[in-house]
Structure 1
């Protein structure tokens, strides 16, 4: 089965991902963070959450699937002044989460945000994350659950967008509704006693409009739109109609969009 990052790394995607912080994307983990911790951030993307981790722990290792993607995180940390001179130890490594190159028991925390939904073997991924964490350390994972998204007002074209996205993501070897499956994955990986919580991203008003514009741009300007057409399930014309519907939907004063997430926290014995 083919495995790839469904969203791609074009500008509309990066603009959205750069809004992520510990507060809005890893609040469940924050109470466990402390200065001096050695934190592994898997799938760091443009590095906004990684930068927050660096400020709190002082020691991070960021990974991505390729050098080009990893450079996005490097540049962000440099732009934020998070350097050795500021007491920050930041390392960067191209990695496959199924086969991490790190030794056993070396990290205090192994973190992955919106990663497990894209991998072909989540059980192996969790097993690897657990392997590289020291006894007493934590595996921390947060993933969205696409089938649980809800919005108002109703829109048949946005429902169609989700249907097409689910198909493409699964064609790419992932599970876009990984959020609800994290506890099951943990049990299968032998991570007994894991704690499962939920949280949401909630968009109203201007934020809903920005979200709608972001998805319209992703459909029109990124590899996501190309992949959807390549499934043979739709046409360019229908995708254009879906993108336009996103914009019209987001401009409505009462627009509301909610993205539920599953969160997994496991402490290694």
Structure 2
């Protein structure tokens, strides 16, 4: 039986490895003009903290806090910070009940977290609460239904259909990007600025890294457990999906892209 509001992917090493690869350049370019020294920043759903620590290098470590609900993610972020000599602070917190006063931060950022919470409007409203007047709420979300790949392997089509079904059964909305405007308006954010960008995996090194990561996730992450325990797939189907990912990595003309929506908004007036 599905566990409602469980994190679809979990924190298996194959998942954290993909999260660690996120940088400002590949996941937060739309926010760069806001990243000036001295501004305070809260990173909600920080995961293992890669982007969060980069934010600290731009605005000052003492001005940045990363929060995540998962203790495993916070532990990984603190370890990474220690490894690179960063003093960015990481705390465990619920995204819909942030432990900060109103008007605490100049920038309140999230990346691929709204899709995993039971009430994304409540999360955006909470992000707006802790953002200062004149500050910004920033969100970047993927849209799984807009994912494209080549060659058009049936196993990857099976993966996408299964992933979206498991995600909805356990963890919210996989096609979050197209809903950003609706969620932001419902949260009473205003001065909305929208953009889009994509992750693209097409070089041999990119294909091998991304395909191998998903081949492992298809069998060993919480996604695999939830797919089987929830009655969405048999282990034989997951093996076939894993094999399809590895087949895709071997295609010299392989392509994979994931479209993301990006939101910059002002907190609610007053």
1:67: Cα distance to partner? 2.8
Give the secondary-structure state (helix, strand or coil) at the position aligned to 1:197: strand
- Distance in 2, matches of 1:92 and 1:211, equals 27
Q: Which residue is 2:138 aligned to?
A: 140
Residues 39-96 of structure 1, C-alpha deviations (whole Å, 9 max, x = no match)? 001111111101100100112111011333211111111111113xxxxxx2222111
Matches within 5 A, 1:81-160: 81-83=85-87, 90-160=88-158
Matches within 5 A, 1:219-230: 219-230=218-229
Q: Which residue is 2:200 aligned to?
A: 202
1:238: Cα distance to partner? 1.2
1:30: Cα distance to partner? 0.6
1:71 to 64, 71, 75: 75
- Distance in 1, matches of 2:80 and 2:168, equals 31
Structure 2 unaligned blocks of 5 or more: none
Residues 224-256 of structure 1, C-alpha deviations (whole Å, 9 max, x = no match)? 111111221321011101101110111100000
8 A contact 2:190–2:266 mirrored in 1 = no
Give the secondary-structure state (helix, strand or coil) at the position aligned to 1:29: helix
- Distance in 1, matches of 2:225 and 2:6, equals 14
Give the secondary-structure state (helix, strand or coil) at the position aligned to 2:90: strand
**Runs of 4+ in structure 1 displaced over 4 angstroms?**
none
Matches within 5 A, 1:1-269: 2-58=4-60, 59-83=63-87, 90-206=88-204, 207-268=206-267, 269=269
Q: Provide the aligned C-alpha RMSD in A.
A: 1.2
The number of equivalent residue pairs is: 263
- Distance in 2, matches of 1:182 and 1:119, equals 14
Bigger shift: residues 228-237 or 34-43: 228-237
Bigger shift: residues 121-130 or 74-83: 74-83
1:104: Cα distance to partner? 0.1
Structure 1 unaligned blocks of 5 or more: 84-89
Residues 86-137 of structure 1, C-alpha deviations (whole Å, 9 max, x = no match)? xxxx222211111111100010110000100101101100000000000000
